[in-house]
Amino acid sequence: MTGCDAIHRIPASVSQERVVEVAMFDAGYGINWQQKIAEKYTAEHAAEGIRVRVWGDQRVAEIVKPRILRGDPPEIIVITNIPMWLLVRAGKAYPFDSALDKPAYGADAPWRDTFIPGTLDTFSSGGKVYAIPGAFGAWCCWYDAKQFREHGWSVPKTWAQFDSLCDQIKAAGIAPIAFQGKYPYYAWSTYISLVQRCGGVAAINRINQIEPGAFSHPDAVWAARLLQDSAVKHFEPGAMAMTHTESQLEFVGGRAALIFCGVWLENEMKKSTPPGFEMRTFTVPAVEGGKGNPRLFNGQGGEFLFVPADSRHPDLALDFCRYLISPLNAASQGATSGAISPIKGGTKRETLSPALQSAMDMIEGAPGIFTERLTFLFVQWGDQNLVPAMSQLLRGEITPEAFCQRLDDGLTQIREHPVPGSPIPDYRPYDSAKFGESP
């Protein structure tokens, strides 16, 4: 009887099939590519009885997080909002280093050296890497080139141009900016981009080093003011209640002309995008009088893969990771899932869609990338300080100064009451001069 499904027969011997279960948050990129590679890997290792099973949906966190807690996790987990550092601290994350030192599939170099510089740093601590990026994320603004042509609009280079473009769009009876209001983290990435445009990577360094007053610095407040200004003036009505899917549907439906999002947007909306919609990107515009180099962009590893220490087959899991994210398979990643590989030079331009090619213009033309690390380090700070403050800022309910003050207050608390046994990992500041900025 199926009601007695609590008792299982233990697999008779080791020669039986060993399953590597991969649980993925299925959002922007989908999971098709990973499933295909898993099939390939399974076929190659059929003799050893290894099978890789990739599954995922939008509610995967609900399922996987309790499973980690009860000591029966999947072998590989790809979920964004997981308390990674807590798991590292509790010894529940399996380090990747043994695999990183092995040669990469499809290249002679060790696996470690094939990644885009900086993308492995996000989850390293004490000389060990606890999660590796599964994709490369870049933040940009999206538009429909066809709509722009029809109305005679042009891509803005500066924030003032961006602002007046929004006015033109509004005058044409279209909402200027769609926004994923239910998840204010989407505005956070735009904000970080603006902080760099206003204050250069020096301002990003201040934030990442958790310096006192990092957000109350005039440059950070300036960025908050620009963001609030355009949110209040140009966000689509009702945007603050929309999920990412709803707002992005507004965008591909042509009811809103612009949307800030990561490079995964095109693939995420593939099924709902009408034919003839020419999705293109432009980078976050330069700010007049700002210190930042506008060719830099907010980018980092994304879709991190991590192997729980309680995994049944950690070594098999590591080997599949090394196979999945490798020079060997990087090219097919761009073609199948529309993701940009975290492997250096792994993505072949000609395999990409026109939309992603426009993103590649931004990526290839940049002397470097920058990113923030607070939301990964301090998940609670993000949920309890950043998210509510951001919603209020965007609705125009608090001043930019008050917004920045709240972020700083949260960080002060973290500085004064550090969680015992969890040192903040080292930080290598961005070099202004190398990035073409005057310090």
Partner 1 sequence: MVSAIKSIVTYTILVVWLAAVVMPLVWVITNSLRSSQEIFRNPFGAPWLITGSPYVDEPTVPAPVQAVKENYQKAWVESHFSRYFANSVLVTTASLIGVLVLSAMASYALARFEFRGNRAIFLYFLSGLMIPAQLVLVPLFFQFTYLSRAGSWLLRPLGFELQLHDSFFGLIVIYIALSLPFTILVLTGFFKSLPGTLREAGIMDGCSEYGVFWFIMLPLSRPGLVTAAILNFLGIWNEYLFALVLINTPDKKTLPLGLASVSMQAQYRTDWGLMFAGFVIVMVPTLLVHLVLQRQLTRGITVGALKG
Partner 2 sequence: MKMRKEQQVFVVSFLAPAFFLYTAFVAFPSVRALLYSLQKWDGLSIPEWVGLRNFYDLFGDSDLFVAALQHNLILMAFGGCFTLLLSLFFAALLHRRVRGATLFRVTFFFPNVISSVAISLLWVLLYSTTDFGVINGCLELIQRALVSANGHLSAWGLPQLPVIPFDLPFPFAGTKYLIYSIVPMIIWMSTGFYMVLFLAAMENIPETFYEAATLDGATEFRKFWHITLPLIREVLTVGLVFLVIGCLKLFDAVWIMENQWPQKESHVLATVLYQKVFTEYNVGYGSAVAVLLFVLVFLSTLLTLRLSRKEAIEY
Question: Which residues would be at the binding site for partner 1 (CB under 8 A)?
Answer: 2-10, 12, 55, 57-59, 62-64, 66-67, 69-72, 245, 249, 271-272
Token duo for residue 406: 């709240």
Report the C-alpha gap between 398 and 297 in whole angstroms. Answer: 28
Select the binding partner of residue 3 from partner 1, partner 2, none (C-beta < 5 to 8 A, by kind): partner 1
Q: Which is nearer to partner 1, 10 or 14 (CB)?
A: 10
Report the C-alpha gap between 369 and 121 in whole angstroms. Answer: 13
What are phi and psi for residue 106, nearest 5 degrees?
85, 15
At its nearest, how many Å lie between partner 2 and the CB of residue 86?
Answer: 6
At its nearest, how many Å lie between partner 1 and the CB of residue 62?
Answer: 6
At its nearest, how many Å lie between partner 2 and the CB of residue 240?
Answer: 5
CB 260 within 8 A of CB 156: no
At its nearest, how many Å lie between partner 1 and the CB of residue 138?
Answer: 23
Q: Which is nearer to partner 1, 70 or 417 (CB)?
A: 70
CA distances from 102 to 97, 111, 217, 321 (A): 9, 6, 44, 12
Q: Which is nearer to partner 2, 383 or 426 (CB)?
A: 383
Contacts of residue 328, defined as CB under 8 A and 6 or more positions apart, other chains included, come to 104, 105, 106, 107
**How far from chain centre, in Å, is Cα 259?**
16
At its nearest, how many Å lie between partner 2 and the CB of residue 262?
Answer: 18
Count of alpha carbons within 13 Å of 42, Cβ hemisphere only? 16
At its nearest, how many Å lie between partner 1 and the CB of residue 245?
Answer: 5
At its nearest, how many Å lie between partner 2 and the CB of residue 90?
Answer: 4
Select the binding partner of residue 379 from partner 2, partner 1, none (C-beta < 5 to 8 A, by kind): partner 2
Q: Which is nearer to partner 2, 242 or 331 (CB)?
A: 242
Select the binding partner of residue 86 from partner 2, partner 1, none (C-beta < 5 to 8 A, by kind): partner 2
Select the binding partner of residue 87 from partner 2, partner 1, none (C-beta < 5 to 8 A, by kind): partner 2
Select the binding partner of residue 44 from partner 2, partner 1, none (C-beta < 5 to 8 A, by kind): none
What are phi and psi for residue 189, nearest 5 degrees?
-65, -40
Torsion on CA atoms 354, 359, 351, 340, rounded to nearest 10: -150
In 209-299, alpha helices (H): 218-234, 244-252, 265-268
Contacts of residue 72, defined as CB under 8 A and 6 or more positions apart, other chains included, come to 310
Which among 332, 343, 143 is positioned nearest to 254, based on CA atoms?
A: 143
Select the binding partner of residue 4 from partner 2, partner 1, none (C-beta < 5 to 8 A, by kind): partner 1
User: Which residues of this protein are in contact with partner 2, per CB under 8 A?
Assistant: 59, 61-62, 65-66, 68-69, 81, 83, 86-87, 90-92, 181-183, 237-238, 240-243, 246, 379-380, 383-384, 387-388, 391, 395
